[in-house]
Structure 1
Amino acid sequence: MLNDEVRQKTAKGFLWVSIYVGGARILQAATFLILGKLLEPEDFGAFALAMVLVNGLIMLREIGLTPALIQIRDDVDRAFRNSAVMLPFFGVLVFFVIFLIAPVYGRLAANESVVPIVKVLGLMAPLSSFGILPAVYLQRNLRFRKKALPEILSVTVGSGLSVFLAWQGFGVWSFIYGILSTEFIRTTAYWITVGFKFKPQVDFAVWKRLLKFGVQVSIGSTFGFLYTLVDRFIVGTHFIIEQLGYYSFSLQLANLLPNNLVLISNQLILPTLSSMQDEKQKFIRTYSLGLALFALIIIPVSAGIYLFGGDLLHWLYNNKWDDAALALKIFVFYGFSRAIGALNTEVFLSKGKPKYFTFLSAGKLLFCLLALPFVLRFDKMEAVAILFTFGLLAMTVMSFFLAAKLMEMKFWGIIKIFIPHIISIIAGCGAIFSLPNEMLLLRIALFYAVYAGTQFIFNRRFLASVKEFTTALLKKGEQD
């Protein structure tokens, strides 16, 4: 069993990460659905095309310092004081790079209208870079309660502004102003929460040490980000911008929950596993618990989106987003792979093996780039979606093999976590097989009733441990 101190910190951390991630993401999900009603597919497409460049470069503002600062074990104070200079420096540098190459990108994408959008969105780099250090400080020390206010407050204001501007007819700019206001408020709130306690310092020996680890992570992250962006660039340039809107909308919708789980993994699992680097059994138990919890959440939701997502889109938006229904089914597997594979990335980083992450990220990108010319012959955005989903799914499976090897864990220990869920999906699909599509609410209710019942039969032991864990969380929350 985990010792009391680690158990209490993990339980408390899980509670507060769930609160602020869940609260913030529910707001973002609601905002996304409302914007789907107020804006047109072309607006989503223009925003997605602009974010290809911005997201591709903005990750360089952090140059892998977040995992480096979490993983480091000595000279912590010096590392943070030097990072107080490094992070803003790289954030401002990235902004100027984005601003200067925006016109080139507009010509390359054959869409000059995205140039001003890209330039303004580039402000995300300096705004967010100033807020990374206090956020990492709280994350490293598992003080997640103090992260709740900055996260929820910033998302509330930013989401509200986006909806208001969309309602007033600002179109794609409602996205941009909402995002920038979110970043500004989040950064300001983090510094107010932590206090200005990091005296800036420039010590190039410390810079070199941090960058040695951080650059390895950044290389892997670069491949990973390119993988998530190349497909949108291809769709945005090979098809009309409206098609990119459908593609982007379905991808974001399928990833609403996976994004939350990836964030929880990064916020909580990485620092928790990093504190157990030399304790093999505790490490494996924590990993297994996290994977089982993620599976319990993501699998039934993914199954529901696959089975009922298209019908729900039509019910919510009439015919407006019908062309996104097939891509949504495909991207269910994309989101599922991202969510369950997130824990393996934390294993690689906490064990000081970022090269595994780099290898997998580069591998899936190379595979998709090589296969892309063949796939484009089909002249369907869904073909691109299948290619990039398959690449991610294949590399996720490989990441489980590497993680098991690194932890010296039997691979069967991972596989058996998913067996009860597979049985539950088969049982649920069998129960609704004969029901017509018009009985949508009944089909949804029956599927999840059968799914839950099957889980109770075949996954009872784990559900009991989840109940115990949840009870401990609630008691801990009452004490705090």
Structure 2
Amino acid sequence: MSELGRGIVRGTAWAAVDRVGTMALNFVVNLVLARLLMPEDFGYIGLLAIFIYVSQTLVDGGFGAALIQKKEPTQTDYSTIFYWNLTFSVFLYVFLYAVAPYIAFFFKLPLLCKILRVQGLILIVNALIIVQNNRLRKQLAFRTIALINISSLLTASVIAIGAAYKGFGVWSLVIMQLMYGVLQNCLLWSIVRWFPDRIFSFESLKRLFGFGSYLLAANMLQVICQNMQGIIIGRKFSAAQMGFYSQANKLNDVCSYALPNVIVQVIFPVYSQFQNDKQKLQEMLSISVRVISYFIFPLMLSLILVAEQLIVFLYGERWLSSVPFFQVLCVGGIFVCLQNINYYAVAAIGKSKALFGWSFYKWGVLLTLLLVGAHWGMYGMLWGMVISSINIFLVNAALACKYIGYTISRQVRDFMPVLIIGLLIFISIYLLKIYIPYMHFIVAALLFGTLYIVLTWMFQLQVIKDITHIKTSLIK
């Protein structure tokens, strides 16, 4: 195996450790905090999410992706982006500090003003390590990233749980975010040992912005529209409803977004290495789609089946209102898991302008569906999000077809076998649960998994060969 091949395999393994480790920690900590805090506490953070995420996206400015996409960025490039990120993050924090009272007035929740003014400090904290993180990603140094992220999150989580136990309420969630960022800073600055030079190049900024600007605009539209439901729920419904939605969405994101993102984290810089070899990119995309759908599709379907018992077991009966929200989100999750594979493949070959142009359509449709669906309450919004997920998948797949040659029909052929098998098992167990209504959710999940593995091996799907090949490569 070539050095690049070994780097990819090592990167994939450590990216998996990072993503699965942080995801598992977040999951466990969320379970503990859900029993110590009220739904309203999570609702407050959810209502402010759009302001933090949009600001964070602006701070990054697409420059992180631009530095990875550029084959050999210079010290001048890194220094320029560092100073830009830091300056802009301070500007945005001052802006959020000033508008915080008006945001609290809009939602009719005075406490939001104080929360946003403290939580907003995370923008400056995160801006200090954007370059360090991207330098490590560029080098496929996912082992270092994993160790830093997991150790920082573990320490921050212990502090947050202690604060929640002492009665800090929503502030324990804010403390967790800030401490996580501060600890990452301490470790990255001491380990990476990269420091900016006293230089700022407008030429470098302009050159990187040529790629990053379109990706920034596309990401901005995505972040705004994906978090718009927080504004709608907070204004039209309540902080408690936002809390129920937030927990359902977190659990869904772990399965439909975080797990597939393990692969996406690694393949974006790898795609950049093959940006001139369309045939190789097609093969990598095809394998990625088959492997992701093999694991995620049955997971989402089985979660729909056992949702009520699972949420009561994990969070307690006070969170029962999250169950129907979670089930609807899982339907959309089937399509969410494949969105970024196509998106980042197109970005890696430098087609950020096309991604930007189509973002107006993708996120415009989502925003329209959210506003229209809100007239039918929470469920109308959620089903609008499902339709939007299907639409976004189709658009990203069409772009991959146009610029890489990975056709939509081939993509459907790659994931359809596991989807059909999963649906057949879903229907069978659903009917069985009608006759055995008190079947334990663990039994139902194990039955689903066993039947799925048996049938996919029985039919010897191509994805089984892909997984065998990957396993052999990892062993080597």
For normalisation by structure 1, the TM-score amounts to 0.93
Distance 1:32 1:356, change over 3 A: farther
Partner residue, 1:311: 309
Instruction: Please give the residue correspondences for 1:65-84 in structure 2 after superposition, counting only pairs within 5 Å.
Output: 65-84=63-82
Q: Secondary structure at the match of 2:432?
A: coil
Deviates more, 1:130-139 or 1:293-302: 293-302
Residues 370 and 385 in structure 2, CA contact (< 8 A), matched pair in contact too: no
Residues 304 and 444 in structure 1, CA contact (< 8 A), matched pair in contact too: yes
Instruction: Please give the residue correspondences for 1:111-260 in structure 2 after superposition, counting only pairs within 5 Å.
Output: 111-260=109-258
Deviates more, 1:26-35 or 1:310-319: 310-319
Q: Distance in 1 between matches of 2:74 and 2:263?
A: 23
Distance 1:130 1:318, change over 3 A: closer
Q: Secondary structure at the match of 1:298?
A: helix
Residues 289 and 415 in structure 2, CA contact (< 8 A), matched pair in contact too: no
Deviates more, 1:131-140 or 1:107-116: 107-116
Q: Distance in 1 between matches of 2:446 and 2:264?
A: 33
Partner residue, 2:357: 359
Distance 1:77 1:53, change over 3 A: same
Partner residue, 1:464: 465
Q: Distance in 2 between matches of 1:80 and 1:317?
A: 44
Partner residue, 2:447: 446
Q: Distance in 1 between matches of 2:43 and 2:239?
A: 5
Partner residue, 2:2: 4
Residues 84 and 199 in structure 1, CA contact (< 8 A), matched pair in contact too: no
Q: Distance in 1 between matches of 2:116 and 2:366?
A: 26
Q: Distance in 1 between matches of 2:54 and 2:288?
A: 29
How far off its partner does 1:388 sit? 2.1
1:283 to 281, 284, 309: 281
Q: Distance in 1 between matches of 2:184 and 2:255?
A: 21
Alignment-mate amino acid for residue 317 of structure 2: N
Distance 1:370 1:24, change over 3 A: closer
2:395 to 378, 393, 398: 398
Residues 33 and 161 in structure 2, CA contact (< 8 A), matched pair in contact too: yes
How far off its partner does 1:360 sit? 3.7
Q: Secondary structure at the match of 2:35?
A: helix
Residues 67 and 73 in structure 2, CA contact (< 8 A), matched pair in contact too: no
Q: Distance in 1 between matches of 2:243 and 2:91?
A: 30
Q: Distance in 2 between matches of 1:123 and 1:279?
A: 43
Residues 282 and 406 in structure 2, CA contact (< 8 A), matched pair in contact too: yes
Q: Secondary structure at the match of 2:321?
A: helix
Q: Distance in 2 between matches of 1:403 and 1:367?
A: 20
Alignment-mate amino acid for residue 464 of structure 2: L
Deviates more, 1:279-288 or 1:134-143: 279-288
How far off its partner does 1:460 sit? 4.0
2:262 to 239, 244, 264: 264
Partner residue, 1:417: 414
Deviations 1:218-247 (A, max 9, x none): 111110001111111100110021111111
Partner residue, 2:323: 325
Structure 1: gaps spanning 5 or more residues: 476-480
Partner residue, 1:478: none
Partner residue, 1:109: 107
- Deviating above 6 A after TM superposition, structure 1's stretches of 4 or more consecutive aligned residues are none
Deviations 1:141-166 (A, max 9, x none): 11212212111111111222222222
Deviates more, 1:46-55 or 1:213-222: 46-55
Partner residue, 1:348: 346
How far off its partner does 1:339 sit? 2.1
Residues 47 and 231 in structure 2, CA contact (< 8 A), matched pair in contact too: yes
Deviates more, 1:226-235 or 1:5-14: 5-14
Alignment-mate amino acid for residue 28 of structure 1: N
Structure 2: gaps spanning 5 or more residues: none
Q: Distance in 1 between matches of 2:36 and 2:302?
A: 25
Residues 431 and 450 in structure 1, CA contact (< 8 A), matched pair in contact too: no
Residues 49 and 230 in structure 2, CA contact (< 8 A), matched pair in contact too: no
For normalisation by structure 2, the TM-score amounts to 0.94
Alignment-mate amino acid for residue 424 of structure 1: I
Distance 1:331 1:358, change over 3 A: same
Alignment-mate amino acid for residue 307 of structure 1: L
